């Protein structure tokens, strides 16, 4: 009986870890967009996008974050049947997120004022959300392809969500966040470190998905900054925004 208690305890700890990580990511997003979206009526003077598109965008992205909390809780409750059915709902939400994310980014880049709360020229900053919208579906598609490999699947879903967190962290209402992208990037990467720490504690080494997926996110952060300052990127960004007419 004692030998069976250890794996059960391990599974219980794993479920708590993933549920806790998902709740922390949801809280990160809520804090970042509290003034412009979640609690907008309480902050009428805070700048917010005028286009209704972004309220749809916010609702769909929130649905994804809530789903990331619900899914590990369903596994913990042994409702894997519901978990699997909701997985296909999540795939549809992810597809909608990519469409809304790309379109919304182009709309924001076309504004004379650019992206709200972002003191960077809009065509230059466009590299940030478009990189996110490239990496996010890549992680989700791999997670769907490897859905029968539970350990790879859950890590890919976490990394897909972590890849989107910087947008929320960059809008936290704290002075140390404003003026530099470094604090928000560091805080976002702490979620990757948390996943790596869980790997070390639970299996003694990083899982390949955590290692290579985490490196992909981290490497993309300076890459998009460097690329955004090039003439080639500016030409592409002007062309992409011009598609809106």
Cα separation of 97 and 103, whole Å? Answer: 10
> What pLDDT sits at residue 175?
87
Annotate 148-174 with DSSP letters as a single string.
Answer: TSHHHHHHHHHHHHHTTHHHHHTT-S-
Range of the domain at 128: 11-242
Q: Is the pLDDT of residue 5 over 80?
A: no
pLDDT per residue as tens digits for the range 196-207: 999 999 999 999
What is the arithmetic mean of pLDDT over 109-120? 82
Domain for residue 16, yes or no? Answer: yes
pLDDT per residue as tens digits for the range 105-114: 999 999 888 8
Cα separation of 53 and 45, whole Å? Answer: 20
Domain for residue 2, yes or no? Answer: no
Domain for residue 35, yes or no? Answer: yes
Q: How many C-beta neighbours within 10 Å does residue 236 have?
A: 16
Q: Is the pLDDT of residue 4 over 70?
A: no
pLDDT per residue as tens digits for the range 211-230: 999 999 999 999 998 999 99
Whole-structure pTM value: 0.90
Give me the number of domains the chain comprises.
1
Domain for residue 3, yes or no? Answer: no
> What pLDDT sits at residue 49?
83
């Amino acid at each position: 009986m004692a030998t069976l208690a250890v794996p059960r305890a391990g599974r219980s700890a794993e479920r708590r870890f993933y549920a806790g990580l998902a709740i922390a990511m949801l809280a990160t997003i809520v804090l970042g967009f509290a003034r412009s979206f979640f609690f907008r009526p309480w902050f009428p003077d805070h700048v917010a996008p005028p286009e209704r598109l972004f309220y749809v965008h916010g609702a769909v992205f929130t649905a994804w974050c809530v789903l990331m909390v619900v899914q590990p809780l369903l596994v913990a409750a042994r409702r894997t049947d519901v978990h699997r059915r909701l997985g296909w709902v999540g795939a549809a939400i992810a597809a909608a997120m990519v469409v809304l994310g790309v379109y919304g980014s182009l709309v924001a880049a076309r504004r004379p004022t650019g992206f709200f709360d972002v003191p960077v020229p809009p065509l230059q900053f466009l590299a940030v959300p478009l990189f996110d919208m490239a990496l996010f579906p890549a992680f989700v598609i791999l997670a769907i392809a490897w859905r029968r490999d539970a350990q790879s699947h859950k890590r890919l879903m976490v990394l897909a969500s972590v890849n989107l967190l910087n947008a929320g962290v960059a809008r936290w209402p704290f002075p140390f966040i404003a003026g530099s992208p470094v604090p928000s990037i560091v805080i976002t990467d702490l979620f990757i470190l948390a996943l790596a720490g869980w790997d070390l504690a639970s299996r003694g080494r990083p899982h390949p998905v955590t290692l290579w997926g985490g490196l992909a996110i981290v490497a993309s952060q300076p890459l998009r900054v460097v690329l955004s300052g090039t003439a080639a990127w500016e030409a592409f960004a002007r062309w992409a925004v011009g598609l809106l007419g």
